[in-house]
Amino acid sequence: MTFRTILLTGSLLIAQQAISQGPKPAENVENKKIQAGLAFSSGMLLTNFETSQVNGSGVGGFFGLGFGANFNLTNNLGVYTGLEFHFERFRFSPSDNFNFKYDYNDKEIIRKKDDTQVLGVMSLRERRQNVVAANIPLMLMFRTNMIGYFRYFGKFGLRNSILLRQRVNDTGVFTEVNALPQNGKLEGMRATNDMFFLRTSAGLSVGTEWNFASSTSLSIEGGFYYGFSPIFNGNGKDDRNMSSLYLENDGARTYRSFKANQSVVEIKAVLLF
């Protein structure tokens, strides 16, 4: 046996011993105090309106991206949070009992408090709400020990959405100054302060974490969050200065906002490092 053969055989034996005694990928993950990575989400928005205001309910969807982080207090207990940007859309139609109108100037919807020249009036029949929001979840997480390369978890806590931007696409009958009424759409309208800047929901989710490479994992979960805070400013109250929608009776206006909360069904994937 040559010296080169002896050296190669000895190196292989040492490497094999180190690998057999070294931590498994799952052990690396279990011992980490913080896991953080990219978060992707999608789901349904279930908007629950005051039943007399709209026909049916406001159903929509969203997708989101950002980052998420697990702060592991113990192997079985942790806290999840992050920052995700959600792009949302939902639509609804006012009921026949509420002939909501609003004044506008170009792309700006005029509120009761605004001193702005009116260039047209819209009688609303359908609204598509487009929202960009920063979502900040704060969840307590319970999970099993690693079973092979998998572990399973449940989370419960709060889902907080901060409004960053909103636009509306409206369908109805609009009348501009010195023009005849016409059916059509007004798209990309700015409804300043129409929605409340913070929406909060509480719920739970369940899922699994797959440790597929070294200390890298893929977490997949599904959850439901019940919205308990109002999503529109005024929350159905009359004659608020920030309201833009009004009902008209014999020339007299009563400004009024929609009253609704919003629940969420969500599927989320997080690539954790």
* pLDDT tops 70 at residue 217: yes
- With tokens 């859309």, the residue in question is 89
* pLDDT tops 50 at residue 14: no
* pLDDT tops 70 at residue 24: no
Secondary element (H or E) of residue 14: helix 3-21
Q: Output the pTM of the full model.
A: 0.85
Q: Which of 28-32, 46-50, 61-65 has the lowest mean pLDDT?
A: 28-32
Question: What pLDDT shows up at residue 8?
Answer: 42
Cβ–Cβ < 8 Å for 244, 102:
yes
Question: What pLDDT shows up at residue 36?
Answer: 95
Distance CA 188, CA 174 (A): 15
Cβ–Cβ < 8 Å for 201, 259:
no
Cβ–Cβ < 8 Å for 232, 257:
yes
